[in-house]
Structure 1
Amino acid sequence: MIDYIPFKETGYFSEFITDYLAQKPELRCLYHRFPVATNFPAQVKEKQASYSAENRNTLFEAITQQYKRLAVSRKTYHNIELLQQDNTFTITTGHQLSLFTGPLYFIYKIVTTILTCDQLQKLYPEYNFVPIYWMATEDHDFEEINHFSFQGQKISWHSDQKGMVGQFATEELNRIANLLKTLLGKSHQGQHLASLFERAYTQHTTLASATRYLVNELFTPYGLVIIDANDKHLKELFIPHFRRELLESAAHKEVEKTLAYIKSINKNYPEQVHPREINIFYVKDGIRERIVKDEQGYAVLNTPIRFTEEEILRHLECFPEYFSPNVILRPMYQEVILPNLAYIGGGGEIAYWLELKEMFALHKVPFPILMLRNSVLLISEAQEKKLHKLGLTHQDIFLKNSLLENKITQRLSEYPIDFSAQKASLQEHFTQLHQIAAHTDKSFLGAVKAQEAKQLKGLEHLEKRLLKAQKKKYRETLDRVLALRVSLFPKESLQERVDNFSAYMIESQGQLIDILIKELSPFDFRFVILSYESKANEEDCIEYFI
């Protein structure tokens, strides 16, 4: 069973993103084309005109080399071969190398990417569309990716390694592999997942190679192509843009202008990322530090490494693999090396891409279509029955706990505990008193306002006391309601931001990804509630540290 809720009504998405989806006119200048299928032919023509045969050949050779020791499906092999053709284009999503894929939305991003390609292929068969997962191997924020949650139990990997996480050695993960053999249970699917983790992380020496193997195994039937952009030959294609960034600080100037414009529209819009004067890291031998410019030339922070302008430009030409784009430049690096049409990401990602369009224009790189990934709340058959028994709608469970308690209490109460009508009536009477005071003795206006505030406050206090008494009366039912909501919104957050895919793979007997592929629609920008058959068990929350 499937249901939908507008993103704006969930309460979990920023005003910036819901305004983007609503195509608010003030935001129109921040993107190139809105994500509707009919806009893709124009995007194809623009990308075709700017993407060179040299870039395409380099991309093909790099990806072929990266897949050299990996067994792939016929469809993935076919998609890699298609990248050589000038009528082949990519749809891309990217993510950090989260342990065992991290939260559920990792899976949703890739599923949305695959489905977008499938739908475009049906609409425009004269072109080829290849789904790409971009591994963030050059990222350094280990604390964001070193854990995942299984049925409320947190499994964490602790390591003292430094630098780019893609190069982290995986030998420390043997203990987690052993733990999962017990934790994931004795079912066929549980043991399969434990074996998959073991093969990925104990038979591959780096986190990048382990993640490539894992994602390839999970999406074998769907032709997904995985790319590690930490590649010398791919970075050679980006040398002109690295050079301009070093010499002109171009990104900083353009993004700052856009940020100022965004704040001028709405002060509540978030600033997702802030540009540096130079948005490049230096990466070598476990080092990942920012490059900064001073009066003497260029320096790598927290190291003795220094360059003159001439030296750093020569170093860039000889060793482009030592230069890494930060969060500001990474999107443009992606668009330079891929024949890409659209980027698929979460709300925060789309928000920061919307800061970058003018930087792309300055570098004469086509700006991709920005698509919000599918978001899903998975509800088991047992949980769906509880919802029905408690008289809850899918919309109800998106309310925060306190609001949900109030709503259910008012619904259960014999008499309504809502004094809105009384407050409105009181304010109407005081409006008349304000008019009388204004026409007789204006010095009484203050006293009238004070009396109005006092009586309104008294009504609100009485309403809260009555509501509190009714909550006590219906405590048993309310506790069941809150327990159900906590199971669906762990840590008061969206399920997809906390839970790992593994529990749902076990409950769906390995069918989770197939179900998502069947049920989701990439161009339907609504939040999805998906009910499925399961044998869910609730367990106590334990945190494991490895």
Structure 2
Amino acid sequence: MWQRNVLTTWPSALPEGLGGDWTGWSQQPHEATWSAERRQAVVDAVKRQYAAQGWTPPGLQDLEQDGCRVVTVGHQLVVCGGPAFLHHKVLSAIRTARGLELAWGVPVAPVFWMASEDHDWKEAARVDGASATHNWVPDDLSIPNPVGRLATSGLDALLRAWGEDGAPASMVNDLIQDLDAVEQEGGPYAQVFFRWMHRWYGDLGLVVLDPDDEALKASCAELWAREMRDEGVRHALEGTDAMEGPAHVRDNQLFWLGEEGRVGIVKGDSRDGTASWKAGQHDFVDPSQGWDAWAVHEAAHCSPGVLLRPLYQEMLLESACVILGPGEWKYWHQLPLAFGAHGVAFPALRLRDHGLVMSPELVQSGWQPRDGWMTVEQWEKWVLDGWMETHQDVLASHHAALIEATAAIRATGMELASELSGAGGAFEKGVDKAWTQWLKKFRRALKSQQPEAWSAFQKAQGALMREGVPQDRWANWQVLAGEEVNAWNEAWMAEPEVLTTSVWLHRPQT
């Protein structure tokens, strides 16, 4: 069963934000209204994207209300949902939206912002089963296309292999059904992931939005124009501490979507005292109609980088709050000055809830979150230290007796002849060395003489970390939950009025 705990329960330090009733928040969320123009652009896109799948968006009536606000969460298009923290983020967004709706008395919709334009497919292409990691290798990798635009070849084989490695059979069949529906229409991977997110969380009210949308990009063309005029994010952050943040501040935050895939726009040769740009083999010169008109016309080719994506998102959504992981929390904090320079409101940031499933072996081991994450080497030391402690009194007694005996032997020698002093000291050192070596062998013998207990401890560590990575960053939510996934989701919806970031621990029922 799941139990909610305070943020400091987590095995490693997390940003606490404001603390108190707003633990995990950068600031309290503002109740300002969502501008009608921006809201309508988003509503139109949502209708269009859901209609392409033959669906009606969840909570459409709420989105269309003047007072509606949104809680936004974004993530890469990880196959089969990837590591559990994707689901931790989404569930945090849904429950936070419900909590703010209760507090404010207006509709608050949870929106999933698909990171469909990310071109680092390797991060999105792996999913863990019960015993192994499964990797999707698309066919068309010679060109760095955005993940969302990749063809779906190879996905079916991955899904079936994952299904044989602990994933619930009913879920795998559903995901294959979604894949088949998209492949029949010749659609890209983004449409598959869109359907998966709707399948998992549509009934909880999650609205899925793909920002790789020409109309949405055209409505935010001023962002692209400012980058091309060299008046964008870097211009706003130049000379400030934000330049030293975790995310690299490029000269131009735009990428160009063209025949060469998604290629970063970089500085070319200066012309007539003004900056020029290039992306691969594509050169950009000052357009006769100006960058503003150019940005509208070329919007479909413009793709925001990591530090421009938040501005694109918030120019459209004006979120009441944004749900983030710890890494995202850090680079979003590079951007308040850029938001101000662009006239975009900087949202309240809320750290996602964190969850850990404690296996029966992990519970039995006596490990507690305060003990921290442990690699295999650290875990083995921790286990053996604990076992040695149970023998500590007996060993201490033997050691004391040994020290007393060697001291007596040395004293006897000294009484007989002073020249035996050196030999007595060497004897004491030899005994001490032998004792140390014996303790090491005794420690190893504890391990070899308890193979079943040792195996259980190894299994416990394997549930906690894999290859040095904490559970929530490798273990798949569907595999962990099995047929209980809906019950797990509902458990995380408990007490929506509690807005603080929480740590959830799942212990087996006894």
TM-score (norm 2): 0.80
SS at match of 1:395: helix
> What is the deviation of 1:63?
1.0
SS at match of 2:467: helix
> What is the deviation of 1:394?
4.4
> What is the deviation of 1:232?
1.8
Q: Does 1:415 pair with 2:392? A: yes
Query: How many residues are paired up?
Result: 457
CA distance in 2, matches of 1:325, 1:208: 17
> What is the deviation of 1:253?
3.7
SS at match of 1:499: coil
> Residue 169 of structure 2 corresponds to which residue in structure 1?
191
CA distance in 2, matches of 1:7, 1:462: 47
- The one-letter code sitting in structure 2 at the alignment partner of 1:140 is H
Partner deviation per Cα, 1:182-215 (whole Å, 9 max, x = no partner): 4457xxxx32112122122232121111011111
* 8 Å Cα contact 1:36/1:523 also seen in 2: no
TM-score (norm 1): 0.75
CA distance in 2, matches of 1:335, 1:312: 25
| Inter-CA distance 471–21: structure 2 relative to 1 (3 Å threshold) | farther
> What is the deviation of 1:122?
1.5
> Residue 39 of structure 1 corresponds to which residue in structure 2?
28
- CA RMSD, Structure 1 to Structure 2 (Å): 3.4
> What is the deviation of 1:279?
0.6
* 8 Å Cα contact 2:363/2:507 also seen in 1: no
Residue 490 of structure 1, aligned match among 431, 449, 466:
466
CA distance in 2, matches of 1:388, 1:344: 30
CA distance in 1, matches of 2:498, 2:288: 48
Residue 129 of structure 1, aligned match among 108, 112, 115:
108
> Residue 450 of structure 1 corresponds to which residue in structure 2?
none
- The one-letter code sitting in structure 2 at the alignment partner of 1:60 is V
Partner deviation per Cα, 1:219-264 (whole Å, 9 max, x = no partner): 1321110001111221122122222222134311433544368x6x
> Residue 306 of structure 1 corresponds to which residue in structure 2?
284
Q: Does 1:18 pair with 2:15? A: yes
Q: Does 1:290 pair with 2:264? A: yes
> Residue 427 of structure 2 corresponds to which residue in structure 1?
none
Identity value in percent:
21
> Residue 473 of structure 1 corresponds to which residue in structure 2?
445
Q: Does 1:89 pair with 2:69? A: yes
1:108-187 matches, cutoff 5 A: 108-125=88-105, 127-159=106-138, 160-161=140-141, 162=143, 163-180=145-162, 182-184=164-166
Q: Does 1:59 pair with 2:31? A: no
> What is the deviation of 1:373?
0.5
| Inter-CA distance 527–470: structure 2 relative to 1 (3 Å threshold) | farther
> What is the deviation of 1:21?
6.2
* 8 Å Cα contact 1:150/1:499 also seen in 2: yes
CA distance in 2, matches of 1:124, 1:331: 25
CA distance in 1, matches of 2:281, 2:178: 34
> Residue 208 of structure 2 corresponds to which residue in structure 1?
226
| Inter-CA distance 462–119: structure 2 relative to 1 (3 Å threshold) | farther
CA distance in 1, matches of 2:237, 2:128: 36
CA distance in 2, matches of 1:201, 1:508: 23
> Residue 405 of structure 2 corresponds to which residue in structure 1?
none
SS at match of 1:370: strand
Q: Does 1:504 pair with 2:480? A: yes
Residue 87 of structure 2, aligned match among 107, 120, 125:
107
> What is the deviation of 1:333?
0.6
CA distance in 2, matches of 1:389, 1:368: 43
| Inter-CA distance 35–309: structure 2 relative to 1 (3 Å threshold) | farther
SS at match of 2:276: strand
> What is the deviation of 1:404?
4.0
Partner deviation per Cα, 1:279-309 (whole Å, 9 max, x = no partner): 1111134621122233135333222443335
Q: Does 1:398 pair with 2:373? A: yes
- The one-letter code sitting in structure 2 at the alignment partner of 1:322 is H
SS at match of 2:248: coil
CA distance in 2, matches of 1:256, 1:461: 62
> What is the deviation of 1:500?
1.6
Partner deviation per Cα, 1:407-463 (whole Å, 9 max, x = no partner): 4434333227999xxxxxxxxxxxxxxxxxxxxxxxxxxxxxxxxxxxxxxxx9999
> What is the deviation of 1:173?
2.2
CA distance in 1, matches of 2:374, 2:163: 37
* 8 Å Cα contact 1:37/1:120 also seen in 2: no
| Inter-CA distance 179–401: structure 2 relative to 1 (3 Å threshold) | closer
SS at match of 1:211: helix
- The one-letter code sitting in structure 2 at the alignment partner of 1:116 is T
> What is the deviation of 1:510?
5.2
* 8 Å Cα contact 2:373/2:470 also seen in 1: no
| Inter-CA distance 376–21: structure 2 relative to 1 (3 Å threshold) | farther
Segments of 5+ residues of structure 1 without an aligned counterpart are 24-32, 264-270, 420-459, 535-546
Larger Rg: 2
| Inter-CA distance 112–509: structure 2 relative to 1 (3 Å threshold) | closer
CA distance in 1, matches of 2:468, 2:250: 34
Q: Does 1:210 pair with 2:186? A: no
- The one-letter code sitting in structure 1 at the alignment partner of 2:78 is S
CA distance in 2, matches of 1:177, 1:507: 17
